[in-house]
A and B are shown apart, each in its own frame.
Chain A
């Protein structure tokens, strides 16, 4: 073990935790490249990369789950996501300013090239950095302590000791296994049977499928929804009806959603809400 690399890693971790990270891990770009296709490898984006730092934070406020408007979780989620983004920028700046290595933050959930074809898979990096494993709930990475978190990457030229993936899958939780044995459902599969399907066997995921296309209208309808609504409006021949459509409440929400990520129309969280992993963080006095 190279103690110099460990020291470098410790400095970055200490800074990241101090800046608000709940979990921090390091993935090796070479390991990521073994699974990722050409054009989606870390070095395709940042040729100087020697390490990938994965920062996770954005634990949902417990109160958000208790609001009468269930979409309020999405409002808080938008803010939380922004916090993690800022955190990744701070970590990158720390690495450049204090340690003297190149660093760049990276998030792959933008509509790069106009389609949902992420440049680098954050899920893959988080898994390889030992921060969690994929779940039945749309393959969301579940951290064993916190459950659902938001993740951002920091790609750096700093050589850091990579972490190892978790030995034991976080999903299914023991209570989900018990539920499966009784009713052949898990909380997430029951919450959203359209987007999610799968089966457990011997306490493990036997197979799972996530219909992301159907998840769009539920979790991601802000941008695509705007395009869909615009298409309907353009096809409407009656100018009066067109006016009602454009000025009406639904289209106003679409417009607001693309202008402001905190709009209530995006996000769903139904599968996350019922997940028992990290549930203790959702319970307060």
Chain B
């Protein structure tokens, strides 16, 4: 199995060590589309989206891996989409 969730050490205020959980980019690229497909991100009338635990079981990943993949993938939309959305909402 690929090494998935990594802890990144960063130095915060007053030299305090902070650990950030991140998903390895390799694992992210490999599973992103499948995780999004099974999640609630695209909701279809046929059945519900799977929970993080259910997706993890289906893809043989740890739930923590799926959580991190989902957290990044949900925001992994081109920034232009936000500008486009603003124009869409401003239209009467």
Judging by beta carbons under 8 Å apart, are B77 and A71 in contact? no
Residues 185-200 of chain A: 1 if any B CB is under 8 Å from the residue's CB, otherwise 0? 0000000000000100
Are B53 and A39 in contact (CB-based, < 8 A)?
A: yes
**Cα A115 to Cα B50 with chains together (Å):** 13
Bound Cα distance A224, B70 (Å): 13
Q: Using a CB-CB cutoff of 8 Å, which residues 206-230 of chain A contact chain B?
A: 207-214, 216-218, 221, 224-225, 227-229
Q: A208 near B74 (CB under 8 angstroms)?
A: no
Q: Quick one: closest A residue to B68, CB to CB? A: A114
- Is A282 interfacial (CB-CB < 8 Å)? no
User: Quick one: which of A35, A208, A228, A268 contacts B75, CB cutoff 8 A?
Assistant: A228
Question: Given that A221-B85, A265-B86 are known contacts, is A210 also in contact with B48, CB under 8 Å in the complex?
Answer: no
**Interface size, chain A (Cβ < 8 Å):** 40
Residues of chain B contacted by A231 (CB below 8 angstroms): 79
Contact partner of B44 among A208, A214, A265, A270, CB < 8 A?
A208
Range of interface residues on B (Cβ < 8 Å): 20 to 34
Q: Which residues of B contact A225 (CB under 8 A)?
A: 82
Q: Looking at the assembled complex, report how far the CB atom of B29 sits from the nearest CB atom of chain A, in whole angstroms.
A: 17
Is A37 a contact of B42 with CB atoms below 8 Å?
A: no
The answer to whether residues A211 and B89 also contact, given A37-B50, A217-B81, A217-B84 and a CB cut-off of 8 A, is: no
Q: How far is the CA of A236 from the CA of B77 in the complex (A)?
A: 18
Partner of A212, one of B42, B71, B75: B42
A232 within 8 A of B: yes
Contact B85 A39 (CB under 8 A): no
* Residue from A37, A69, A216, A227 in contact with B51 in the complex, judged by beta carbons closer than 8 Å: A37
By beta carbon, the residue of chain B nearest A74 is B89
Least CB distance, B90 to chain A, in whole angstroms? 7
Given contacts A70-B91, A205-B45, A209-B43, contact A216 B50 (CB under 8 A): no
| Residue of chain B at shortest CB distance from A209 | B44
A212 in contact with B53 (CB, 8 Å): no
Please indicate the chain B residues that have their CB under 8 angstroms from the CB of A210 in the complex.
Answer: 42-43
Known: A209-B44, A227-B75. A214 touches B81 (CB 8 A): yes
A3 within 8 A of B: no
In the complex, whether A63 has a CB less than 8 A from a CB of chain B is no
Decide: B43 and A224 in contact? CB cutoff 8 A: no
Query: Within 8 Å of chain A (Cβ to Cβ): is B41?
Result: yes
| Nearest CB of A to B7, in Å | 15
- Contacts A207-B44, A228-B75; is A71 near B90 (CB within 8 Å)? yes
**Which of B41, B43, B44, B89 has its CB near the most chain A CB atoms (within 10 A)?**
B89
Q: Is A6 an interface residue (CB 8 A)?
A: no
A68 is contacted by which of B53, B81, B85, B92 (Cβ under 8 Å)?
B92
**Chain A 99-115 interface residues, beta-carbon cutoff 8 Å to B:** 113-115
20 A–B contacts from the bound complex (CB under 8 Å): A68-B92, A70-B92, A114-B67, A115-B70, A116-B40, A116-B74, A117-B39, A117-B40, A117-B52, A207-B46, A212-B42, A213-B36, A214-B77, A214-B81, A216-B74, A218-B85, A224-B75, A225-B82, A228-B75, A268-B89
16 further A-B contacts with Cβ under 8 Å, apart from A37-B48, A214-B77, A216-B75, are A37-B51, A68-B92, A70-B90, A71-B89, A71-B90, A114-B71, A116-B74, A117-B67, A139-B43, A207-B45, A212-B41, A212-B42, A213-B74, A221-B86, A225-B82, A232-B79
